[in-house]
Structure 1
Amino acid sequence: MRPIGIAGLQLQLGKGDNSDRIVAEVAAVKARLPWVDMVVLGELCLFGASTANAQPLPGEAEAKMCEAARAAGVWLVPGSLFEADGGRVYNTAPVIDPTGQVVARYRKIYPFLPYEQGVAPGSEFVVFDVPGVGRFGMSICYDMWFPETTRTLVWMGAEVIIHPGMTNTIDREAELAIARASAVTNQVFFVDINTAGSLGVGLSGVFGPGGEVIHQAGAGHEVIAVELDLDQVTRVRERGWHGLGQPLKSLRDNPIEFPPYREGFAASPTFSELGPLQKPGSERPTAPGVRTIKTQA
């Protein structure tokens, strides 16, 4: 067995500095559940969604999270925060080990454009190893809408995808479908932790390598503590879920070269005709046959 205890903290948070609350919650979950090895929080939970709170990394807030991880003796992914670097702002998730050391920083590759304005995309995929357990991949919110991101992490060896999100819109049900599909098509654990309160609608989920729902959270405060055995990933990839599909082997063994990746998406007339990436406006077209009649008082 290769077990790991993961606690997703779906916290009801507001705008502003939430770092003290997060430190307290990390300490509380470890005190209550000593078997927890890793704690994961939602996207932008430290300061909310304003780029005005961007700061350099390493920085004061990250240092506070490092101390929280060290004090609790856990791996900590404290959601993400806006990182200021060289005149650009990135949406960045630190990965902190139980000694309080930052072992990786992942910059969100797909900012939620056209709404997440002023945020630059990252360019590097990030995986990290938990000794004696296995390899984990990092993804943030809108990244999962692009299946290539999860597939790349799995190609790099990830057996668990850690996915902080901050969704406060009505498409959360669609995201849950994507998270579950990402798990089964990549035969991977998918840990999808959303924010709650004024920052998000909650509804976090943990999904297994067969697409099974390990836990589906509600909308409020919730500690999602689960024990995952990464040997299950090995077995499902070897034999298929319930002895059925083995998609990673089929993907590896089929020599097909996918045209979009060979020729580029811009080569497609369908993609070229999509128009600019911008916020939709209010459209009130005039119905056919309707005339405007001016009258004189």
Structure 2
Amino acid sequence: MGRLGLAALQIDADASDNFDLVEKEIRAVIKRFPWVQLVTFGELIVHGPSVKKAEPAGGPAELRFQSLARELDIWLVPGSIYEARDGKVFNMTPVIAPDGAIVSRYDKMFPFRPYEASVACGSAYRVVDIPGVGRIGIVICYDIWFPEVIRTLSAMGAEVILAPTLTNTIDRDVEISIARANAAISQSYIVAVNGAGKLGNGRSVVFGPGGELIYEAGTGRDVIALELDLGQVRQVRERGWHGLGQVMKSFRDSTVAFPFHASVAERQDALSSLGPLAVPGRASSAAQGAPSPSRTNDIRPQANRRGGQD
């Protein structure tokens, strides 16, 4: 089990067309910290959040990233890009090896719906072995709100989970708490790197396998260059953080079944009363003051007022 020299770059980005800036930042961090092995960025850092800029697999952005990784002899996880494939658009993160090969492509499992409505859902977990170092896992932004995804990657052996993120909303503080909780329950490093400037409100974070905060960035440009000791992950999983909970072992040894995880249909049926996944409309004052369906036996009038309309 080795050490990973990692640089998470929180870029003060424009709304789109950031590739020249991204390349400049990559070159600068490798020049300053030649021990860095892997560089990563925030979600959709190059083109911004427009599906109109989706590229095919092996498109211009990927080719340019491959060339950079090869030239600088680094692992590169360059945030994400929208990729057009099979008539759909995916939010995709490539993992590029030092020889320029794309060793993995991860499609975001949980697009930020209903707002990211035109983006297809991925279905495959991705872990990648870095020779002599250890295993990394990949998620994208909203994925971390679903602990089942993080736990699965950890069970697949991921010791570091990279989470390129694009958050510019008031829930960033909550998201940071979720990242910390995921680190503790999966006993993994979590690296959640956000954008800054016009793309995000920053506050990228790195948490250790006990949930301990290693670093939190501010809201502007930041270069988070550090070494992660993956041997600590094994120690925490074997002995517990400071000799406390051996979470992954307990999860392994438990005979408790999780039916909602095993059956998609059962989960969807159980939660069907939540209604459709849609952008909220304006709520009328009458709807805001109405009793909740759980407090009345006649739920039809409540349903009729949905969206503020009778």
TM-score by length of 2: 0.90
Aligned mates of 1:184, 1:146 — CA distance in 2? 14
The CA distance in 2 between the partners of 1:111 and 1:17, in whole Å, is: 22
Alignment map for 1:176-255 (pairs within 5 Å)? 176-255=176-255
Which amino acid letter does the alignment assign opposite residue 58 of structure 2?
A: P
Corresponding letter in the other structure for 1:4:
L
C-alpha distance in 2 between matches for 1:247 and 1:95: 28
Relative distance call for 1:262 and 1:60 in structure 2 (3 A) is closer
1:149 aligns with 2:149: yes
SS in 1 for 2:55: coil
More displaced, 237-246 or 14-23?
14-23
Q: C-alpha distance in 1, partners of 2:57/2:259?
A: 39
SS in 1 for 2:122: coil
* Offset of residue 247 of structure 1: 0.8
With over 3 angstroms needed to count, the CA separation of the structure-2 counterparts of 1:117 and 1:272, relative to structure 1, is closer
Amino acid at match of 1:149: V
Shift of 1:260: 1.9
Distance 1:24 1:172 in 2: 27
Equivalent-residue separation in structure 2 for 1:44 and 1:267 (angstroms): 34
Moved more, 215-224 or 276-285: 276-285
Match of 1:122 in 2: 122
Partner residue, 1:295:
none
Q: For residue 274 of structure 1, what is the aligned residue in structure 2?
A: 274
Corresponding position of 2:295: none
Q: CA deviation at 1:117?
A: 2.2
Displacement of 1:15: 2.0
- Structure showing the higher helix proportion among its residues: 2
Distance (Å, rounded) in 2 between the aligned partners of 1:101 and 1:255: 41
Superposition pairs of residues 1-297 of structure 1, within 5 angstroms: 2-263=2-263, 264-268=266-270, 271-286=271-286
Q: Tell me the number of residue pairs that the alignment of Structure 1 and Structure 2 aligns.
A: 286
Specify the SS of the correspondent of 2:215: strand
CA RMSD of aligned residues (A): 1.2
Q: What is the SS of the residue equivalent to 1:26? A: helix
Matched residue type, 1:29 = V
Q: Percent of pairs identical after alignment?
A: 52
Q: Is the 8 A contact 1:139 1:164 kept in 2?
A: yes
SS at match of 1:226: strand
The amino acid of 2:16's aligned partner reads: G
Q: Does the 8 Å CA contact 1:7/1:36 hold for their aligned counterparts?
A: yes
Aligned-pair distance for 1:25? 0.9
Q: Which runs of 5+ in 1 are unaligned?
A: 289-297
User: Structure 1 residue 20: deviation in Å?
Assistant: 1.4
Shift of 1:16: 2.2
Between the aligned partners of 1:24 and 1:257, the Cα distance in structure 2 is 50
Residues 26, 72 of structure 1: 8 Å contact kept: no
Tell me how far 1:21 sits from its aligned partner: 1.2
Contact 1:110–1:122 at 8 Å: present in 2 too?
A: yes
Distance 1:258 1:139 in 2: 22
Cα distance, 1:262 vs structure 2: 4.1
Aligned partner letter, 2:118: G
Q: Which amino acid aligns with 2:258?
A: F
The one-letter amino acid paired with 1:265 is: R
